């Protein structure tokens, strides 16, 4: 009887061990980017850069500073390459998914920044 009880206790312990739930409380709502920067800081950095940038900056310079765009579109128009890079600048839906309406478009013609925002987007496309 004692052996059965010890065997049951040992088996129960083995079955229940190894169950670990890890909760990261470093960010209040769980939004993290692969770089480890939380989404609020990431959006603020993007907004600050966009508010300070000047037309004529190269696409490479923007990508070097902000990293890869959340969305990237390109079209040829009158022999020019028109490229739009979308960077997240505001959260609208708390769903963990970045959508274009949460981004600011940066418009490049032949790899040179010509404008940003919806007005610029409608002008060049």
Query: What is the rounded average pLDDT of the residues 92-107?
Result: 91
Structural domain contains residue 106: yes
Q: Higher-confidence residue: 8 or 79?
A: 79
Structural domain contains residue 56: yes
Domain count along the chain: 1
Kindly report which listed range (1-5, 36-40, 46-50) carries the lowest average pLDDT score: 1-5
Is the model's pLDDT at 59 over the cut of 50?
Answer: yes
CATH of the domain at 43: 3.30.1450.10
CA distances from 40 to 82, 103, 118, 121 (A): 29, 13, 22, 25
| pLDDT given for residue 121 in this prediction | 92
Structural domain contains residue 14: no
Range of the domain at 36: 30-124
Question: What does the pLDDT look like over 108-121, one tens digit per residue?
Answer: 999 999 999 999 99
Structural domain contains residue 19: no
Structural domain contains residue 114: yes
Structural domain contains residue 12: no
């Amino acid at each position: 009887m004692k052996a059965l009880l010890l065997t049951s206790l040992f088996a129960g312990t083995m079955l229940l061990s190894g169950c670990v739930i890890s909760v990261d409380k470093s960010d209040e709502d769980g939004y993290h980017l692969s770089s480890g920067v939380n989404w609020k800081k990431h959006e603020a950095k993007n907004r600050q850069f966009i508010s300070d940038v000047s037309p004529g900056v190269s696409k490479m310079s923007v990508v070097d500073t902000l990293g890869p765009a959340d969305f990237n579109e390109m079209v040829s128009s009158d022999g020019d390459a028109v490229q739009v890079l979308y960077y997240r600048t505001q959260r609208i839906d708390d769903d963990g998914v970045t959508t274009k309406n949460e981004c600011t478009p940066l418009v490049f013609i032949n790899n040179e920044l010509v404008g940003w925002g919806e007005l610029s987007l409608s002008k060049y496309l």
